């Protein structure tokens, strides 16, 4: 085996060993994780070279390249393309106990909901009490010493009122800082990054290679009925999420809608459907290109 082929095979095997770590940590592993896995990948590369010495290495190379592509594809799917599960977003009721409506694009293509649709929902249906944009993804949050993968949510200040979320330390974001790189953390994220005893308000963390200042810590919420840790979350202003995290021009998220009263929910659902069908120029008989889910039907 030539020295050039030997180096190429070592490199491919090492990449195949390292890539799953980068995928699993949203391409933000800590330095020691990278060092350990790179060392293991280098050792595997040596084994591969010895095992194929004097033999053809084409099959090895193809298999390793396929493993790298598969790892990247799986990681991209779970962080970007997997269908939205709106259960954690809605949790069936708003702060007043009224049922919520969850509006999202129909799966299987580009997002049919636009930012203009969101603004229309917020402003053109009088019987809506609150309409809150909601985008989320799994994202690594890092400080100087630790990193933790959590659910990153981009939303508006009204989300705190919709969900009756309170802060145990600091403050929530509002209209005065909604365009700034600020974040409110759940206490699970705080414990993982800073320890349970320390208040992180004023500290800076990095999300998607962007520095965010922690302005608040949510009051403890506990577990959902489905077993989800409701405190494993980070909330950022929707404007910053759109510019620093979700940089596509399409909306790509959901809108959480609460009616002024529980008795108005069915009417709001009908008005929402009429508004969106009109905005999307759907002819009579055309299927909706969006989904409205009533989390608590009468």
Q: Determine contact, residues 213/181, Cβ cutoff 8 Å.
A: yes
Query: Is residue 12, in this structure, part of any structural domain at all?
Result: yes
Identify whether residues 93 and 238 lie together within a single domain. Answer: yes
The answer to whether the pTM exceeds 0.75 is no
Query: Is residue 50, in this structure, part of any structural domain at all?
Result: yes
Residue 73 has a pLDDT of: 63
Identify whether residues 50 and 134 lie together within a single domain. Answer: no
Residue 32 has a pLDDT of: 56
Identify whether residues 71 and 128 lie together within a single domain. Answer: no
> Alpha helix locations (H) across the chain?
3-24, 31-51, 58-76, 87-90, 115-124, 158-162, 187-194, 238-240, 265-279
Domain boundary among 49, 81, 113: 81
Identify whether residues 95 and 41 lie together within a single domain. Answer: no
Identify whether residues 46 and 189 lie together within a single domain. Answer: no
Query: Is residue 273, in this structure, part of any structural domain at all?
Result: no
Residues of the chain below pLDDT 50 = 25-26, 28, 78-84, 86-87, 90
Identify whether residues 95 and 186 lie together within a single domain. Answer: yes
Please tell me what DSSP assigns to residue 144.
S
Question: Helices 3-24 and 31-51 meet at what angle, rounded to 10?
Answer: 140
Query: Is residue 255, in this structure, part of any structural domain at all?
Result: no
Identify whether residues 98 and 229 lie together within a single domain. Answer: yes
Residue numbers of the domain that contains 218: 87-245
Identify whether residues 112 and 52 lie together within a single domain. Answer: no
Provide the domain count of the chain.
2
Query: Is residue 103, in this structure, part of any structural domain at all?
Result: yes
Identify whether residues 109 and 241 lie together within a single domain. Answer: yes
Residue 246 has a pLDDT of: 78
How many other CB atoms are there within 10 angstroms of residue 200's CB atom?
Answer: 22
Residue 84 has a pLDDT of: 45
Q: Determine contact, residues 289/167, Cβ cutoff 8 Å.
A: no
Domain boundary among 228, 245, 262: 245
Identify whether residues 102 and 232 lie together within a single domain. Answer: yes
User: Strands 100-105, 254-259: parallel, antiparallel or unpaired by DSSP?
Assistant: antiparallel
Residue 22 has a pLDDT of: 59
Q: Determine contact, residues 80/265, Cβ cutoff 8 Å.
A: no
pLDDT digits (tens, 9 = 90+) for 171-221: 999 988 878 999 999 999 999 999 877 789 999 999 999 999 999 999 999
Domain boundary among 22, 56, 81: 81
């Amino acid at each position: 085996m030539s020295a050039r082929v030997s180096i190429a095979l070592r490199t491919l095997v090492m990449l195949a060993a390292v890539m799953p770590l980068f995928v699993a940590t949203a391409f933000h592993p800590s330095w020691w994780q990278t060092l350990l896995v790179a060392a293991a990948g280098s050792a595997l590369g040596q084994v591969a070279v010895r095992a194929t010495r004097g033999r053809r290495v084409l099959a090895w190379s193809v298999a390793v390249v396929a493993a790298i592509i598969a790892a990247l594809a799986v990681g991209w799917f779970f962080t970007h393309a997997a269908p939205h599960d709106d259960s954690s977003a809605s949790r069936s009721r708003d702060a007043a106990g009224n049922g919520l409506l969850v509006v999202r694009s129909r799966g299987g293509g580009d997002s049919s909901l636009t930012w203009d649709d969101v603004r229309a929902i917020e402003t053109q249906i009088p019987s809506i009490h609150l309409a809150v944009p909601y985008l989320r993804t799994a994202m690594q949050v890092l400080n100087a010493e630790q990193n933790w993968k959590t659910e990153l949510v981009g939303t508006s200040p009204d989300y705190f009122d919709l969900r009756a979320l309170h802060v145990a330390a600091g403050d929530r974001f509002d209209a005065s800082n909604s365009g700034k790189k600020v974040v409110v953390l759940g206490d699970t994220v705080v414990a993982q990054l800073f320890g349970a005893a320390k208040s992180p308000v004023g500290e800076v963390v990095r999300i998607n290679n962007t520095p965010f200042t922690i302005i608040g810590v949510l009051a403890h919420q506990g577990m959902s009925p489905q077993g989800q840790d409701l405190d494993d979350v980070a909330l950022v202003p929707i404007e910053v999420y759109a510019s620093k995290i979700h940089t596509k021009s399409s909306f790509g998220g959901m809108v959480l809608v609460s009616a002024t009263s529980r008795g108005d929910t069915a009417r709001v659902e009908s008005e929402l459907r009429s508004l969106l069908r009109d905005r999307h120029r759907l002819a009579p008989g055309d299927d909706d290109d969006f989904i409205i889910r009533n989390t608590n039907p009468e």
